[in-house]
Structure 1
Amino acid sequence: MELKGEPFMSAPAVLDINQRSAHRIASDEEALQLAQRLAADFAPDAARRDRERILPWAELESFSQSGLWGITVPREFGGAGVSHVTLAEVIATISSADGSLAQIPQNHYYALEVLRVGGSAAQKRFFYGLALDGVRFGNALAEIGHKDYQRRTRLTPEGKGYRVSGQKFYCTGALYAQWIPTLVVDDNQDSYLAFIPRHSDGVEITDDWDGFGQRVTGSGSVSFKQVWVEPEWIVPFKASFDRPTSIGPFAQLLHCAIDSGQARGAYQETLHYVREHARPWIDAGVDKASRDPLLLERVGNVQVRLRAADALLHRAGRVLDALQQQAFPDARSVAEASVAVAEAKVLTTEVALLAANQLFELSGTSATLGERNLDRYWRNARVHTLHDPVRWKFFAVGNYVLNDVLPPRHGAL
């Protein structure tokens, strides 16, 4: 498909960005400090937001206006261009306070990476500028009900632009976004990422997400009925996977960071609970549960596995940093990044579930009672770690190290 139109970018009048002007973060160190400060602000009400499903509008406004949603914008476009290690740590830090909040910008960062890899200079200037101003991008990627896995959301030329029609689900962040990057296909089944203003005529967002975990991610449905799209809002998607790029391992690194943060949050709650609610019935011969050798073994076990998972997470970030330094990555270097991230994903998944399970076991039925709402850690970890099957990570790693078979290039590896 040949995209038509002039090489300039313009925002539609219907888009309410209220002359947004977010803080501009200048360095990795500033990003990490801000993430810690926001996590401390977000943590106190996380249990209530989950329990009562209070959508985090105010928290998201603070989050995006902090400048953290623009930290991946390259320096040549006015951003901080932080390392992947820093990005992962920022997400994990927020996730330790509220796993739902940490997942909401995941597809925002993903869209910016697709833009970095496949967008034109004009598109980068425009959409990077929006991100730096605090504008939030959601997503409308997934579809349901098609056994052939082909996307049905259609991009059809009309006059000097295009129309988009289709139905999406699991659209994390779309509810809160000003723009919705949408995966569309043309008549040749070539795919593109169309950045669509959320207030465009024909866009309908339904808050029908009813998962028992990650309850306030806004991961509902979006329908498009003959929605007008300017040519300048369309970025190649399939072409970015036809050649070796960082998009797949980048996407997975974000999921690793969410899981790692959920594990950290559950582990800190475990330490707090044991210290504050030492219970002699855990071991009738010990006065304090904090001196129970079996309990200490469990706490130590989670600590070691959490350290190992974080080490692999940071290593994966460094591998991605090295990959991004290559002007034209080859298949081998992308495969190495995918395997490094897959290895991290295995451990972050396992430790998120382990830490949440241990908290559940040690707190007992009281986990579901009271204001602390401790069972949310297990529910959040259980739901988010199902995003893509971790068993395929083992397969990809094993096939690579044993048979030298490069992993496939897609968003789940």
Structure 2
Amino acid sequence: MSTRTVAGAELRLPNLPDPERVQRISSDAQALDAARRVADQFAPGAASRDRERLLPWAELDLWSESGLGTVTVPREYGGADVSLATLAEVFVILCAADPALGQIPQNHFGVLGVLREIGTPAQKLRLYNEVMVGRRLGNAGPERRSAESSTILQGTTRLRTTPDGLRLDGRRFYSTGALFAHRVPTRATDDEGRAVQVWVPRDAPGLSLIDDWSSFGQRTTASGSVVFDNVAIDPQDVLPIWQLADRPGLYGPISQLIQAAIDQGIAEAAVADAIAFVRERARPWIDSGLEHAVDDPYIIADVGRLQIDLHAAREVLLETGHTLDAIASSPLDAESSARASVAVAEAKVLTTRIALEASEKLFELAGSSATRAAHNLDRHWRNARTHTLHDPVRWKSHLIGNYHLNDVLPTRHSWN
């Protein structure tokens, strides 16, 4: 690390995985099996990690060794290249166990999607090889709002050409996964005013990670600040993302599919905990004349409605994955790219609704004792409310309606 670090910078570097311990996943079935095994290890400590804000360093080492980070790497580079429906299901499984830990790899797969679409053959060979030996990718996210950064696509981060080579300067936030990553890709503007993505090595001099994420939900994603201070950049670590706005692609819909899957995982965990609490701890209401809360007809009906909404959201999510798979198997055009964005917007609306509904309904069904801090069941609502703000669902409904009513194709970016 550079000696020019900022106050509060996290000096710890992630462990380099032992390539011999990284499992090789070669099929969709193996990917799902690996996700279930990892989720079984993650789930027992999820509540305490949230309560005490224990960052999941050891758990992420296990994630790297599981091989899950390689599942979207194309087969010609050694990966399994699993279906997008499987990728969505992997995230549901992980996030039902621990949604904060499960969210951390989201940008790993998001930037791999960008690499797939615009990376050169040499960049793909080198960077895919790093992923295949277990290295993790993070992301230095959007900048905080300012006069120069009024939207998430704007900012002051600059990649400059100097007599000594390329140099990167800027300060980013919402950097999920960056603290734990071996590379920290970030968006910047080059000398020609074009958007580029720069894949910065985690140990680059001048790169500082600051663990200043203080949200009430998704507390252990460490989605805080990243500072680039005159960081020397290899030209081979720069991707021209400005090109993506000019041609159809799936990097945005794939990113959104993952976001929807995270919300679905939160919902499934909340419903499961609600049912368990009603069965094991809840008391029947005094006017019911019943001995057990599980016999209350109103609770039974509410659980039934939750299951319907949960099932509907999951099926639309997986159907969206299959839709994206079908679109990806044929040459992309503006219309097929738009259909992908519309499909994933529908899934996002439903998973947002069920995540919020389930995490709030939990307490109504389980009763006042479920609010005790010892149970930490409020983490489900806190996680749901925090993560569903990633991009406003009201604009998903607008996107869908505008497409069907006015034939307006969605704008292409990572949030569509």
Which band: TM-score by shorter chain?
A: over 0.9
Structure-2 residue corresponding to 1:304: 308
| Residues 349-382 of structure 1, C-alpha deviations (whole Å, 9 max, x = no match) | 0000111011122234433435431110010001
Spell out the pairing of 1:290-301 with structure 2 (5 A cutoff): 290-301=294-305
CA distance, structure 2, for counterparts of residue 272 and residue 24 of structure 1? 36
Contact 1:96-1:261 within 8 A present in 2 as well = yes
Spell out the pairing of 1:15-26 with structure 2 (5 A cutoff): 17=16, 20-21=19-20, 22-26=22-26
One-letter code of the match for 1:17?
A: L
| Residues 251-277 of structure 1, C-alpha deviations (whole Å, 9 max, x = no match) | 100000000011001111111111101
> Residue 180 of structure 1: which of 163, 184, 202 is its match?
184
Structure-2 residue corresponding to 1:228: 232
| Residues 154-180 of structure 1, C-alpha deviations (whole Å, 9 max, x = no match) | 001134741000000110011111110
State yes or no: 1:126 paired with 2:126.
Answer: yes
| Residues 190-228 of structure 1, C-alpha deviations (whole Å, 9 max, x = no match) | 111110011111111100000000000010100000001
* TM superposition shift of 1:325: 1.5
State yes or no: 1:374 paired with 2:374.
Answer: no
CA distance, structure 2, for counterparts of residue 283 and residue 393 of structure 1? 43
Structure-1 residue corresponding to 2:262: 258
Structure-2 residue corresponding to 1:281: 285
Structure-2 residue corresponding to 1:34: 34
One-letter code of the match for 1:240?
A: L
> Residue 313 of structure 1: which of 317, 325, 329 is its match?
317
Contact 2:282-2:367 within 8 A present in 1 as well = no
Structure 1 segments unaligned to the other structure (5+ residues): 1-13
Change in CA separation of 1:159 and 1:75 when aligned onto 2, cut-off 3 Å: farther
* TM superposition shift of 1:281: 2.3
CA distance, structure 2, for counterparts of residue 38 and residue 189 of structure 1? 43
CA distance, structure 1, for counterparts of residue 234 and residue 282 of structure 2? 61
| Residues 310-347 of structure 1, C-alpha deviations (whole Å, 9 max, x = no match) | 11101110111112213x41000000000000000000
Change in CA separation of 1:30 and 1:47 when aligned onto 2, cut-off 3 Å: same
Spell out the pairing of 1:350-389 with structure 2 (5 A cutoff): 350-389=353-392
Contact 1:205-1:221 within 8 A present in 2 as well = yes
CA distance, structure 2, for counterparts of residue 171 and residue 313 of structure 1? 25
Structure 2 segments unaligned to the other structure (5+ residues): 1-12
Contact 1:283-1:292 within 8 A present in 2 as well = no
* TM superposition shift of 1:288: 1.1
Spell out the pairing of 1:7-156 with structure 2 (5 A cutoff): 17=16, 20-21=19-20, 22-147=22-147, 148-149=150-151, 150-156=154-160
* TM superposition shift of 1:412: 1.0
When normalised by structure 1's length, the TM-score is 0.94
Change in CA separation of 1:402 and 1:227 when aligned onto 2, cut-off 3 Å: same
Change in CA separation of 1:146 and 1:404 when aligned onto 2, cut-off 3 Å: same
Change in CA separation of 1:169 and 1:330 when aligned onto 2, cut-off 3 Å: same
Structure-2 residue corresponding to 1:398: 401
RMSD between aligned alpha carbons? 1.6
* TM superposition shift of 1:82: 0.2
When normalised by structure 2's length, the TM-score is 0.93
| Residues 224-267 of structure 1, C-alpha deviations (whole Å, 9 max, x = no match) | 00001101111111211221100111110000000001100111
Count of aligned residue pairs for this structure pair: 399
Residue aligned with 2:221, SS: coil
CA distance, structure 2, for counterparts of residue 78 and residue 112 of structure 1? 14
Contact 1:136-1:178 within 8 A present in 2 as well = yes
CA distance, structure 2, for counterparts of residue 75 and residue 204 of structure 1? 34
* TM superposition shift of 1:16: 6.5
> Residue 331 of structure 1: which of 303, 327, 334 is its match?
334
CA distance, structure 1, for counterparts of residue 392 and residue 375 of structure 2? 30
| Residues 94-150 of structure 1, C-alpha deviations (whole Å, 9 max, x = no match) | 000101011100000001000000100111111111111110111013011234432
CA distance, structure 1, for counterparts of residue 17 and residue 102 of structure 2? 24
CA distance, structure 2, for counterparts of residue 210 and residue 169 of structure 1? 12
State yes or no: 1:345 paired with 2:348.
Answer: yes
CA distance, structure 1, for counterparts of residue 143 and residue 301 of structure 2? 44
CA distance, structure 2, for counterparts of residue 369 and residue 64 of structure 1? 35
State yes or no: 1:409 paired with 2:409.
Answer: no
CA distance, structure 2, for counterparts of residue 15 and residue 90 of structure 1? 23
CA distance, structure 2, for counterparts of residue 323 and residue 64 of structure 1? 29
Query: Percent identity among equivalent residues?
Result: 50
CA distance, structure 1, for counterparts of residue 317 and residue 144 of structure 2? 31
Contact 1:283-1:289 within 8 A present in 2 as well = no
